[in-house]
Chain A
Amino acid sequence: MSTFDNPFDPERRLNRTGCSCGRHRSQAEHDAQLALQCAQIESEDKRYQGVVASAVMRAVFPKDAARRAFLKSVGASTALAALSQLFPLKTATDVFAQGGAIEKKDLKVGFIPITCATPIIMAHPMGFYSKHGLNVEVIKTAGWAVIRDKTLNKEYDAAHMLSPMPLAITLGAGSNPMPYTMPAVENINGQAITLATKHKDKNDPKVWKGFKFAVPFDYSMHNYLLRYYVAEHGIDPDQDIQIRAVPPPEMVANLRADNIDGFLGPDPFNQRAVYDGVGFIHILSKQLWEGHPCCAFAASKEFVTTMPNTYAALLKSIIDATAFAHKAENRKEIAAAIAPANYLNQPEIVLEQILTGTYADGLGNVKRDPNRIDFDPFPWQSFAVWILTQMKRWGQIKGDVDYKAVAEQVYLATDTAKLMKEVGLTPPTTSSKSFKVMGKEFDPAKPDDYLKSFAIKRV
């Protein structure tokens, strides 16, 4: 049972049989509701009431079957009345809407030391967490697999993840399936392909046969973007080149040691390779897909449902920080705040180049691109659909995928929209949008056709 389902509907089930998203009894009902949902008209009060009632019903009937039997025998209105006697639903709903008492003040949030995590990190020294009443400890973590395990272990309450990871965890690709949510994107753009200096005249990917590349993780935008980029140039990423997962900090060391020819990695390591004179920036990821998501703020579904107020406060801090980071005039200040050893542990000048977009390219030119990295919290569900098409394209997930249902379950666009409004931002009015990747249009409504259109794929 999802948080936003009607808990008094005896027909609701855990497994999704009804419609494509699973929240409705039939596809027709789903379609009818969809228009409402996309436009964000669903009354806030009603939604809160639903959330609170869900929690209460879950507490009273931990087993779905028992709840359904009870509702069938007495009817929903009787159940609601009976429940209200036991538990003041109205008050509880009000408490939630006002962002009531925080259940847990001391939180641990894990991060990987890369500029993608800027909002999560800067929220600590710049006081965004304390502004929303939280005492957050941000903990540097050694790699993506470790951050995944520590979050699944509940050592971390929430964590910085690559945007495909919550999808992979929810689907059980590369780990045990566990319902995961991604309420906010941290950064868009901000990655690059860096090549070793010795390849400075090999700017055409067609001559890259036999190259060894590093990406941060198998389930990363980096992996999908690199594969997409070389495949568009007729290079098969599984046969013509070698792609391996290397933790970002080790990428520059490996490039210097000549273990790899290049990497599609997160900053600061692209700029760091230039700073140390071992590589040059071949192309920025924004030139492949302007506005692509990269890293994300993720939390388990359990955290979201058992501690709604803490979750709301935490998400608000992140959205607040993201909005602050979005403004170009704040970027220098942020670079100074996150450079110390406690956070990114990098020379300030490297971070400044990344965040302001005035940078040395490694070939002797100074380039200016203010959108080299940008920050935008909104988790477009179409991003998730695109990622799922690529997971399927490269054989990471098999069989039929209910793209839309998974995307809606994991990318919590409605929560983000609500909290964006609360901190004084204007959220988009839809949760899906189409975009272009290397000049090719992606229509989130037709993922299968999109997948079929590629020449190089593993499906």
Chain B
Amino acid sequence: MGMTWRAAMVSLLLFGLFVGVWHLATMGSGPAVTMDPEYAKLVGATASQGKSAMPGPAEVGLKIWQHLKDPFYDRGSNDKGLGIQLAYSIARVMTGYLIAVAVAIPIGFLIGMSPLMNRSLDPFIQVLKPISPLAWMPLALYTIKDSSLSSIFVIFICSLWPMLINTAFGVASVRKEWLNVARTLEVGPFRRAFTIILPAAAPTILTGMRISIGIAWLVIVAAEMLVGGTGIGYFVWNEWNNLSITNVITAILVIGVVGMVLDQVLARATRLVTFPE
């Protein structure tokens, strides 16, 4: 048996163990006290039958199946299928993220190529970088006056910094010998940027982009929970509102899977541009 197989077996075993413990932990305690049947009808199973407030694995599995079976239903503006909600979130993340790419990479080049710009922009970057993206939300809502654009802005601002810093770092650390060769061949600055620096810095830039997409996906959920309307974050909030832990767990799993896919796409792209030295 190869290593991969054995690893898969262990993974499966661990998963089985986890589900088993989960099942036992959420068995419930059975009816605690005898209740007036009229009263028992008016309260939930948690209060009347001592059912655990936490759903068991079977319940969650069933819920996931229901969502997967019908991901694109639309029952009005506040109740849409998981697929539609995910599409909204991904669209927001992509818009904010692409704007950030368009801004971060040129500025990163500028900073990386010019020590003067590096020094003069550094204080701004240092102050703005550590701000939690959600702290921008009230300000964005107030100035942009549109909740959907505000969440895109929040995505933009949070995915900007890793890309900017990585680009600047990648550009600044291109090997001097290559630049010197270019200089002796009298290559112009634009050609130098595109044919020498860009390919050399590409792996670092893409690593920055990979960090950024991860952060953007983390933040969209929080932003949508705050603003509401549509998106997977809104779905979590709406189900929390209903205290439906089953749906919340379902959403958590889906968020994880989508985040993983986004990350893997950029990981593949990074591998494409990596070169042996």
Q: A residues touching B (Cβ–Cβ < 8 Å)?
A: 113, 124, 137-142, 146, 149-150, 153-155, 249-250, 252-253, 256, 272, 274-277, 340-343, 345-347, 349, 353, 358-360, 364-366
Contacts and interface: CB of A to CB of B under 8 A. Distances in A.
Interface of B: 35-36, 38-39, 41-44, 46-47, 53, 75-79, 141-142, 145-147, 225-229, 234, 237-243
Contacts of A366: 36, 38-39, 42
Contacts of B47: 274-277
Contact of A360 (B39, B46, B243): B39
Given A142-B226, A277-B46, A353-B42, 7 more contacts: A139-B229, A142-B237, A149-B147, A153-B147, A250-B240, A341-B242, A360-B43
Contact of A364 (B39, B226, B239, B243): B39
Contact of B141 (A138, A149, A252, A360): A149
A275 B44 CA distance: 5
B76 A342 contact: yes
Contact of A272 (B77, B227, B243): B243
A139 B234 CA distance: 12
A366 B40 CA distance: 10
A385 to B, nearest CB: 31
B225 A142 contact: yes
A342 B79 contact: yes
A20 to B, nearest CB: 34
Contact of A349 (B42, B229, B237, B242): B42
A347 B241 contact: no
Contact of B78 (A150, A343, A365): A343
Given A142-B228, A274-B47, A340 B79 contact: yes
Contacts of B43: 274-275, 277, 360
A345 B238 contact: yes
A140 B146 contact: no
Contact of B142 (A149, A249, A274, A346): A149
Given A249-B240, A275-B47, A364-B39, A153 B227 contact: no
A345 B241 contact: yes
Query: Which of B35, B75, B227 has the most chain A CB within a 10 Å cutoff?
Result: B227
Nearest to A250: B240
B243 A253 contact: yes
A358 B43 CA distance: 12
Query: Which of B43, B75, B77, B79 has the most chain A CB within a 10 Å cutoff?
Result: B43
Given A249-B240, A345-B238, A155 B77 contact: no
A210 to B, nearest CB: 27
Query: Which of A276, A277, A366 has the most chain B CB within a 10 Å cutoff?
Result: A277
B229 to A, nearest CB: 7
20 contacts: A113-B241, A139-B77, A139-B78, A142-B225, A142-B226, A142-B228, A146-B141, A149-B147, A153-B141, A153-B147, A155-B145, A252-B243, A253-B240, A274-B43, A276-B46, A340-B75, A342-B75, A342-B77, A343-B78, A365-B39
A359 B38 CA distance: 10
Contacts of B229: 139-141
Contacts of B38: 366
